[in-house]
A and B are shown apart, each in its own frame.
Chain A
Amino acid sequence: QKEVEQDPGPLSVPEGAIVSLNCTYSNSAFQYFMWYRQYSRKGPELLMYTYSSGNKEDGRFTAQVDKSSKYISLFIRDSQPSDSATYLCAMSSPRGHDMRFGAGTRLTVKP
């Protein structure tokens, strides 16, 4: 079993839709949870960063962490074509240097 599971998609939505991206994990030592966005031929770019459980909101993006279920989510409201990218979840223990990635979900937002 992989430490981090993420549905690779692809996921296609119309412009303006709410997008929900999810990851599950098995390692209870993970405390830091990240979402990265990666455009084609580019490196991953940090989008959201959450410590432990709870919600975090930044503009149209909301990250949720449910440690009891070992489940994290990223919601994108009012999705735009410019949001089309691959979204990678990542997580690490308090050591911080043992980051594990999901496979990435490829999202397309159609105008």
Chain B
Amino acid sequence: EAGVTQFPSHSVIEKGQTVTLRCDPISGHDNLYWYRRVMGKEIKFLLHFVKESKQDESGMPNNRFLAERTGGTYSTLKVQPAELEDSGVYFCASSPIPGTGTDTQYFGPGTRLTVL
């Protein structure tokens, strides 16, 4: 079974540019999460989708960040315009529908974003 995949693995952009990160969850997983880890800090929650609906976006830093999950499959996270403090590793995770007895989240390898 394929795991969670993320693209690109690394992105270097200049301040003010736009970047779009993509996450493909494990097939059949309705729950999709975005997290971010900035250097020296812990991994922090950004938002949670159930299928195509945003369940919780309380962790999104500001309105420069836009997440979508059209059709309830893959998700994109767009940063526009990017600022220096947006640098970090962006992780995506997915988990099965509730009721399976666990909310185990399976993480992708992350996208390392560097804003210069």
Interface check B109, CB cutoff 8 A? yes
Q: Are B45 and A99 in contact (CB under 8 A)?
A: yes
B105 touches A99 (CB 8 A): yes
List the count of A-B residue pairs having beta carbons below 8 Å apart.
Answer: 49
CB distance from A102 to the nearest CB of B (A): 6
Binds B, one of A10-18, A44-52, A70-78: A44-52
Q: Is the CB of A102 within 8 A of B42?
A: yes
A85 within 8 A of B: no
Closest B residue to A94 using CB positions: B103
Q: Is A43 an interface residue (CB 8 A)?
A: yes
Interface residues on A, range: 20 to 34
Q: Contact at B104–A92, with CB atoms within 8 Å?
A: no
Our pick among B31, B48, B108 for the contact of A43 (Cβ within 8 Å) is: B108
B91 touches A44 (CB 8 A): yes
Docked CA distance A34–B98 (Å): 17
Task: Say yes or no for B102: interface residue by CB 8 A criterion.
Answer: yes
- Given A97-B48, A97-B55, A97-B56, A49 and B102 touching (CB < 8 A)? yes
Interface membership of A42, Cβ < 8 A = yes
